[in-house]
Amino acid sequence: MNTSIIQARPDFAAIAAWIPQGSSVLDLGCGDGSLLRYLRETREVRGYGVEISDTNIAACIANNVNVIQNDLESGIADFEDQSFDFVILSQTLQATRNTEALLKEIVRVGREGIVSFPNFGYWKNRLQVLLGNMPVSDELPYQWYDTPNVHLCTLHDFEFLCAHLQMRILARHVMANGNDVHVMPNLRGSTAVYRFRRNA
């Protein structure tokens, strides 16, 4: 099961690689708890998830991971300052409403934040826009009228916001089709994972 999760979600592998043994982790929008379960089984992580969907809550409990049913944007207020080593937001940033406030909350509650999101600057997305349509792809599988993604951004955009919020980016991992991208990441990368913290 472990390997299949990592294969299905390359961003999970990138996230897990940054998390040392025995860390405490809060996973916002944790889905069925797969990542938390993987981190517990491979890194003895003490973790909690926040999730809103009923189906996912039942699945998290089946996966034997701690999960709190709440809206991740308002629910994070219940967590105390610097109470986790890592706060993770995987493939959810683009669907949050108060994105700026949430990023601030992530570095309030976590000593570090880890965020993964689809790169809107990926060349295939740019091409579709250039040809006159909103992009639809594996990373962005929605039509413009039914998408939950209200805050899409490029790598540049995200880095600009981090600077604006006085957050220091500690590491960045950009991928496309499961492979690492090092050259021209804002054009060639479809998924980005960032690790950041508050400027001391």
- The residue ranges that bind another protein (CB under 8 A) are 24, 46, 48, 54, 57-58, 60-62, 64, 66-70, 78-80, 83
Min CB(187)–another protein separation in Å: 42
Question: From CA 200, how far away is CA 194, in angstroms rounded?
Answer: 18
Nearer to another protein by Cβ, of 64 and 179: the residue is 64
Nearer to another protein by Cβ, of 68 and 95: the residue is 68
Nearer to another protein by Cβ, of 83 and 128: the residue is 83
Min CB(107)–another protein separation in Å: 18
Question: From CA 42, how far away is CA 19, in angstroms rounded?
Answer: 10
Min CB(69)–another protein separation in Å: 5
Q: Residue 110 burial by CB count (10 A; 0-12/13-18/19+): exposed, middle or buried? A: buried
Min CB(50)–another protein separation in Å: 10
Nearer to another protein by Cβ, of 75 and 178: the residue is 75
Is-contact 74 42, C-beta < 8 A? no
Angstrom distances, CA of residue 159 to CA of 86, 99, 100, 131: 19, 14, 12, 27
Give the Cβ contact number of residue 198 at 10 Å: 17
Min CB(101)–another protein separation in Å: 20
- For residue 197, list its beta bridge partners: 168
Question: From CA 190, how far away is CA 187, in angstroms rounded?
Answer: 8
Nearer to another protein by Cβ, of 11 and 32: the residue is 32
